[in-house]
């Protein structure tokens, strides 16, 4: 199932991640400068909150970049599955639909285990996809 973020174009996510990362770096620099200087407690507390904001922005940038990587892996996986199904002709040509979890057939008059049923898990062409 695709996330809502997958509907956002990759270039927009990259740009948003870059902006969030830059602001995170800027906030980090400001927060460190506020904590290092000889200032009152209010400025030091404010510097701590700015550093917390830098962490949040950095995590948001990392999440956006990770979502791009996850979407690419999902697309590669789907392409490999489509290719494997096409290579193995997952329909088997027998007219029955196959249950990938049980490696038996559904829609058959038999349960795949009966003596007169021609559907066998060891001879099914989908067996190669199970591994």
pTM above 0.75, yes or no: no
Q: Compute the mean pLDDT over every residue in the chain, rounded to the nearest whole number.
A: 78
* Mean pLDDT value across residues 48-63: 96
pLDDT at 58: 96
For 25-54, b where at least 16 C-beta lie within 10 A, e where not — what string?
eebbebbeebbeeeeeeeeeebbeebbebb
Q: Which of 63-67, 89-93, 112-116 has the highest mean predicted lDDT (pLDDT)? A: 63-67
């Amino acid at each position: 199932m695709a996330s809502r973020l997958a509907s956002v174009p990759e270039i927009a996510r990259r740009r948003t991640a870059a902006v969030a990362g830059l602001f995170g770096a800027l906030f980090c620099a400001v927060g460190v400068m506020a904590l290092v200087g000889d200032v009152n407690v209010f400025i030091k507390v404010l510097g701590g909150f700015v550093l917390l904001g830098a962490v949040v922005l950095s995590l948001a940038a990392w999440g956006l970049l990770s979502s791009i990587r996850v979407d690419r892996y999902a697309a590669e996986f789907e392409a490999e599955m489509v290719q494997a199904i096409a290579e193995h002709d997952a329909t088997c040509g027998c007219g029955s639909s196959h249950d990938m979890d049980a490696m038996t057939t559904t829609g058959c008059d038999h349960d795949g285990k009966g003596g007169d049923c021609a559907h066998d898990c060891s001879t099914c062409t989908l067996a190669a996809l199970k591994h």
